[in-house]
Amino acid sequence: MPDANPCAMHKPAIVAVDARVDPSDCQSMVEVRQGVDALDRALVALIAERQRYMDAAARIKPDRDAVHDDARIEDVVTKVLAAAKAHHLSPDIAEPVWRTLIDRCIAHEFGVYDRTRS
């Protein structure tokens, strides 16, 4: 019998990353660019899924004032920086990238919230 629970855990598809040469083995800029392009395509798929969570947040939040949450923003950035450290990602890349991502996601969420409430 299918799970009737609308909050059932999502079973995400594996995000495919095209074959690429390991960065430490790259011998040409063609190999570097192919690797970057492959990762960019995978990142787009993951960011699109993140956006769908923002769509859900806009649907669930009880009022417009709940869309922007400074405490949650700092919590997300703290968690990202911890993950970045574990993966040897420079915080000088991670923090501004995620702060921009969060800012744009909040703007998106406001738009969805407004469109679904008007």
Copy the structure tokens of residue 116.
């679904």
Distances (CA, A) of 14 to 2, 11, 23: 22, 9, 22
Determine whether the annotation assigns residue 50 to a binding site: yes
CA–CA gap between residue 103 and residue 84 (Å, rounded): 19
Determine whether the annotation assigns residue 79 to a binding site: no
CA–CA gap between residue 63 and residue 117 (Å, rounded): 10
Closest CA to 105 of 65, 57, 71, 42: 57
Determine whether the annotation assigns residue 52 to a binding site: no
Determine whether the annotation assigns residue 33 to a binding site: yes
Q: Which segments are annotated as binding site for substrate? A: 33, 50, 61, 109
Q: Which segments are annotated as binding site? A: 33, 50, 61, 109
